[in-house]
Amino acid sequence: RSGEQVCCFAVAVSNQAIVTQEHQFLSIKEGDSISLKCSYSETASNLQGYHMHWYRQYPGEAPEFLLTVASVELKKHEHFSASFEKQKESRLNITKVQMKDAVVYFCMAQDPQQHRDTCCLYKNP
C-alpha cells in the first residue's frame, strides 16, 4: 500500500577491517529509493583489493546473500544495486522500495587475498 513507511536497518560487519555505516535506521515510504552506505577503515591491509558483500536478513531467518562488489564496478540484482563510490565506501541502493524490503541489511568487507574459500559474518561491537 502506497504511503506506508518502510524501515531499513543496516549493520556493518567484517572479519578484519573496521566497518562503519552512515545510518543504523532509516524510515522511508514504499515506492521511494534508499541508499545504505558502508565504509571500512585504513586498518585493513589491502584496501584496494577489498570486496564488499551485501546481505539481507528477514526476522528469524539466516542472512541471505544479495551482491558482491569490488573496486569501481556496479552490480545489480532485482531492484538492488551495489557499487564502490570511493576507495573505501560502498553503497547498496534499493529502488522502488517494497514492504518486504523492511529488513536488516549487512555489509561485509573482505580481503580476497586472505579469505579465498570462506566468508564469515560478525556484528561490529
pLDDT one digit per residue (tens) for the chain, 125 residues: 444 444 555 454 555 566 776 767 778 888 999 888 887 775 545 445 677 888 888 888 888 888 888 766 666 777 888 877 666 778 888 899 988 888 888 888 776 666 555 455 545 44
Residue 38 · residue 14 · CB < 8 Å? no
In terms of residues, how long is the chain? 125
pLDDT in the model for residue 1: 43
Residue 93 · residue 35 · CB < 8 Å? yes
CA distance 113 to 111: 5
Residue 46 · residue 18 · CB < 8 Å? no
In a 10 Å sphere around its CB, with 0-12 CB exposed, 13-18 middle and 19+ buried, how is residue 36 labelled? buried
- According to DSSP, the residues that pair with 37 across neighbouring strands are 91
